Amino acid sequence: MRFIETRGNDGKKPASVTFSEAILSPSASFGGLYVPESLPDLGISFLNKHLSSSYKTLAMDFLETFGIDIDKETIQAALDRYDAFDDPQNPVPLSEIEQDCCVAELYHGPTRAFKDMALQPFGYILSKLAEKRNEHYLIMAATSGDTGPATLETFKNQPNVKVACLYPDGGTSDVQRLQMVTEDAPNLKVIGVKGNFDDTQNTLKSLLASEDFKAELEARNIKLSAANSVNFGRIIFQIIYHIHSYLEMVRCGKITMGEKIYLVVPSGNFGNALGGYYAKKAGLPVEKILISSNANNILTDWINKGEYDLNGRELIMTESPAMDILKSSNIERVMYDKFGAERTKELMEALASEGKFVLSDAERASLQEDFAASWSDDTLCEAEIAHYVKKGYMMDPHTATCIKAYETLRSETLPTVIYSTAEWTKFSPTVAKALGHPVEGDVEALKWVSAHANVKVPEMINNLFNKPVVHTVVVEKEKIKEEMLGFL
């Protein structure tokens, strides 16, 4: 499988690249992204073959069918990372919440958010590639909460890769901050930035764009890569759990093989939803992918109105912060797939220069063949959390945005899978508030919710509060470069 570019080729980069090249240097011509030249046609035979496979067996066969230039031994070792999940046999368990609806829990990995599903194997592969090529990479991440811990966790003590992670001081939950500042390995650097997430992200962007920082990296023989979902190395692992969830629905008797289902995806950068779209294109029987958002509902407008307009929009801080996103990176890959490179370049350039693009009626209709969308505000999410706790199921605020999509967007009465992207323990103060008992801080909230709703707090969360803090640096934006050079 070769990889090509969403905005066409500029004549300087190669016309197509291998998987390895696409993940080591994920930026493509004209600021575009890499996408596979085609998708495998899995068909029902592939699904039948894996009806009783373990997650890792399914994943291995999928990756071999996809055809990536990574040797089998490396892929196997990367997939072995799932052995550290709660249940190595089934890293993504499904729970029934309604007679026709199951929640696929993507959060049973080491940092309790779905980022582990892709970052765990991806981190292993990237580091192995760097080692084999005798190259050194720096990965920089600005995080508002979930990407940071998952990126640090996957690369800790891995050869040939260093990770620097910037977070807004005071802008994350206690659990999220502790997951970063207690992560102890010589190749990791965590820096708190005085300011909000926007300040943090802008600081990172200007650092990455600055010529003298680039020169400093070159002098040290360090290349830059990225571990956000612009990297296809993450997307590929996000196709697999959609196939697994479908098979689980067959296995538990909710559907018969070949029957269509709906997928509901709480979305931000659209990596999770893109994985579902690719799975559908590869032949998974999916009726539609239902996209749920919070009050930052720009994806709802994109799908329902065919327009993407940043003008007059300010990022709203919600109780589902991992979805507080206005520029959603992976919609570009969907538009490339549907409208081609030339049109995608035009649309993305309009977005950059005018803050807006508008699709034609035919383009919008094409989008609506695969997607439908709705959004929920914090009040509704809290009510949904409380409602399902009464019924015996605990969900986090991101997952809670999905309930309205499940209830209102289905035009057929087909069984449905909702993706749960985080464990409630990462957002316990919100959950406590939803259950009518607002408290200060994560320690109190974890204790109260756990007792009140009779749910367990996993060891790795409880232990965070006793682990030594190793990253104590909190600095002004201007001091970041100095900190980084000290680290390198």
Ligand X SMILES: *Cc1c(COP(=O)(O)O)cnc(C)c1O
Q: How far is the CB of 435 from ligand X (least distance, A)?
A: 19
User: Does residue 41 contact residue 66 with C-beta atoms inside 8 Å?
Assistant: no
CA distance 8 to 270: 21
User: Does residue 417 contact residue 261 with C-beta atoms inside 8 Å?
Assistant: yes
Quote the distance between the C-alpha of residue 483 and its chain's center.
28
Which helix (H) or strand (E) segment holds residue 94: the answer is: strand 94-98
Q: How far is the CB of 121 from ligand X (least distance, A)?
A: 16
Q: Which is nearer to ligand X, 133 or 327 (CB)?
A: 327
User: Does residue 191 contact residue 166 with C-beta atoms inside 8 Å?
Assistant: yes
Largest separation between any pair of C-alpha atoms in the chain: 61
Q: How far is the CB of 367 from ligand X (least distance, A)?
A: 16
Q: How far is the CB of 228 from ligand X (least distance, A)?
A: 9
User: Does residue 224 contact residue 138 with C-beta atoms inside 8 Å?
Assistant: yes
Q: Which is nearer to ligand X, 247 or 273 (CB)?
A: 273
Q: Which is nearer to ligand X, 86 or 216 (CB)?
A: 86
Q: How far is the CB of 322 from ligand X (least distance, A)?
A: 3
Q: How far is the CB of 320 from ligand X (least distance, A)?
A: 7
- By CB under 6 A, name the binding residues for ligand X: 113-115, 146, 229, 266-273, 322-323, 398, 421-422
Q: Which is nearer to ligand X, 281 or 479 (CB)?
A: 281
Q: Which is nearer to ligand X, 277 or 339 (CB)?
A: 277
Sequence letter at residue 232:
F
CA distance 356 to 336: 17
CA distance 191 to 480: 8
Q: Which is nearer to ligand X, 128 or 396 (CB)?
A: 396
Q: Which is nearer to ligand X, 254 or 433 (CB)?
A: 433
Distant-in-sequence, close-in-space partners of 439: CB < 8 Å, separation ≥ 6: 429, 432, 445, 448
Q: How far is the CB of 478 from ligand X (least distance, A)?
A: 29
Q: Which is nearer to ligand X, 187 or 318 (CB)?
A: 318
Q: How far is the CB of 266 from ligand X (least distance, A)?
A: 5
Q: Which is nearer to ligand X, 130 or 227 (CB)?
A: 227
User: Does residue 164 contact residue 158 with C-beta atoms inside 8 Å?
Assistant: no
CA distance 195 to 176: 17
Between strands 94-98 and 101-105, the pairing is antiparallel
User: Does residue 230 contact residue 20 with C-beta atoms inside 8 Å?
Assistant: no
Three-class SS of residue 268?
coil
- Phi-psi sector, 141: left (phi>0), alpha (psi -120 to 50), beta: beta
Of 333, 324, 342, the residue nearest 367 (C-alpha): 333
CA distance 106 to 115: 8
In the structure encoding, which two tokens stand for residue 183, read together?
A: 């992560």
Q: Which is nearer to ligand X, 160 or 176 (CB)?
A: 176
Residue 43: how many CB atoms within 10 A of its CB?
Answer: 12
CA distance 456 to 462: 10
